Amino acid sequence: MSKDWIIWAVTAWIVVFMLAGQAVATCLLGAGLLGVALWMGPAVLGGIVGQDTFYTASAYTLSIIPLYLLMAQLLLKGGVIVDLFRVGHRLAGYKRFPLGIATIVTGGLLGAVSGSGTASAAALATLAGPELQKVGYTRSFSVALTAISGSLSVIIPPSLLIMIYGSLTEVPIGHLFIGSIGPGLLCILVYIGCLYFLGEVEPGAIDGSRVELDEDPRQARRSVQAFTFVVVLMVVVFGGIYGGIVTVGEAGALGAFAAFVGMLVMGRVGPKQIAAALVDSVKVSAMLLMLLIGAQIFSRFMSFSRLPTELLEFAQPLVANPTVLVLVLMGGLFAAGMFMEEVTTIVLAVPLIEPMIGAAGIDTIWFGVMACFVISLGLLTPPVGLVAFSAATAARTPVGPVFRPCLVFSTFAAFIVVGAMMLFPGIATWLPSHLN
C-alpha cells in the first residue's frame, strides 16, 4: 500500500469511529496501531506499544493530575459550589449587576476547584440561573451568563486542559498554571464589562429588590467558612508554586490533603463522600491516561509518516511570520472548540502544531495559555458549543437563545484578550519568568 493511501486509511479510521461515537482514546489508539502496522510492519508493534505505553504511564507530569482531581472532587463532594455562590449572592447585596459579577467571579473560583468547563456551567445553571432571573435578567441571558462563567474553568488553574497541554508538550505545568492567571483575570474583567453594557433585562424589571436565598444563620456561617477555606486553599497552593516553596506536584498533594482535612473538620464529607471522590478521581485519571496513551501511539505513527515535517514544510511561509502563524492556529483551535470537547481538541492538535511553534520560535507557555483560552471561547460558540449546551440542558431551556449572548461575550473576549496577549506577551509570561 502506498504511503498516501496509508495516511488516508488512518484518517478515515479516525473520522468513521469518531462519528460512530467511539471514545477518542480508542480512536487514536486504533488509528496509531493501524498506521504503524501498515507503515512499518506488524513486527514492530510489540516494542513500540510496550515502550510508549510505559513511558506515557510513568511520566512524572501525569502524577500531578490525580492529585488535583482528588482535591477538586473532595471540594465538590463537600458542596462548596453552593457556598461560593451563596457568599457571592450576599456580597452582591441582592442587586442585579453585582449579582451578575458575583456569578462570573464564582465561575472563576469554581474553575480553581473543578477544572471542568461543562461541569461548572451545569452546576451554575441550576444554582445561579434562577437567582439571576429573580433580579430581572431574562431567562436565556441568565443561563448564558452561567455558561460564560463556567467556561472560565478551562483557563483558570488548575485547568485539566492546561495540565494535558503541559503533559503533551513537556512544558512545566506550574509555569502554565501561573501564566494563565493574568489572561484569566483579564477575561473576567472583559466579561464584567460586557455584562454592564450588554446585559439583557426583562422589560419593567425593578433592580434592588431584596431576593434572598433560603438559609438560616447557621447555614450562612457554614457558607462563609467554606468560601474562606477555598480562597485560602487556592492562595496557599498557587502561592506556594509561585514562591518556589513547593513544586507543582507537591502543591497538588498539599491541596488534596488540605481539602481532605478541611472537609472532614467542617463536617462536609463522610466515608461515602470520600469514597465517591476517590472513585471519580480514579475514573477521570484513567480516562485521561488512556487518552494520552492513545495520543502517544498516534504520535509515533505521525513521526514515522513524517506528516508533521511535511506539514511544517508546507506552512513554511507562515513559520517565517510568527504573528500570522499564531492567528491561523488560533482560528483553527477556535473552530475545533466549536465542534469538539476541549480535551479532544488539544490532544488532536498538539502533535500537528508543536513542530510549527517550535520552528517559529514561539514561547510554548504563552502559546499554550492562549490556545487553552481560545478553545474555551469555542466551547461557548454554535453550532455545538458544549459548555453553552451543558448549561442550557441543566437549566432545561432551549439552547438557541442561550447561544446569542455567549457568542457576543466570546467575540469581545477574543478580540480584547487575544489582542492584549499579542501586543503584551508579558500578560502570560511575566509571572512564570519570576518563578523560583
The cell numbers describing 328, all together, are 491561523
- Is residue 76 very low, low, confident or very high in pLDDT (cuts 50, 70, 90)? confident
- Is residue 257 very low, low, confident or very high in pLDDT (cuts 50, 70, 90)? very high
Which whole number is the average pLDDT over 3-15?
Answer: 86
Amino acid found at 90: R
CA pair distance 15, 125, nearest whole angstrom:
33
What distances in angstroms separate CA 106 from CA 29, 227, 340, one per listed residue? 38, 10, 25
Tens-place pLDDT, residues 329-361: 999 999 988 888 888 888 888 888 988 999 999
The cell numbers describing 77, all together, are 463532594
Q: Residue 326, SS3? A: helix
Which whole number is the average pLDDT over 418-427?
Answer: 95
Q: Is the peptide bond before 42 cis (omega within 30 degrees of 0)?
A: no
pLDDT at 191 > cutoff 90: yes
The domain ranges of the chain are 1-58, 60-433
pLDDT at 416 > cutoff 90: yes
pLDDT at 190 > cutoff 90: yes
Contact 115, 158 (CB under 8 A): yes
What is the pLDDT of the chain when averaged over all its residues?
Answer: 86
CA pair distance 162, 194, nearest whole angstrom:
26
Closest CA to 177 of 245, 133, 256, 239: 239
CA pair distance 186, 426, nearest whole angstrom:
13
- Per-residue model confidence (pLDDT) at position 239: 87
β partners of residue 137: 201
Listed ranges 199-203, 267-271, 284-288, 416-420; the one with the highest mean pLDDT: 416-420
- Per-residue model confidence (pLDDT) at position 198: 93
Closest CA to 187 of 426, 412, 347, 408: 412
Higher pLDDT, 231 or 144: 144
Tens-place pLDDT, residues 127-173: 888 889 988 999 999 999 999 998 988 888 888 889 889 988 889 88
Contacts of 434 (CB under 8 A, 6+ apart): 242
Long-range contacts of 395-404 (CB under 8 A, 24+ apart): 395/125, 395/126, 395/129, 395/142, 395/143, 395/146, 397/139, 397/140, 397/143, 398/140, 401/140, 402/140, 402/143, 402/144, 402/147, 403/144, 404/140, 404/144
The cell numbers describing 302, all together, are 505521525
- Per-residue model confidence (pLDDT) at position 4: 79
Q: Residue 333, SS3? A: helix
- Per-residue model confidence (pLDDT) at position 409: 96
CA pair distance 428, 178, nearest whole angstrom:
8
CA pair distance 41, 58, nearest whole angstrom:
27
Q: Determine the Cα angle at 428 with ends 318 and 64, to 5°.
A: 105
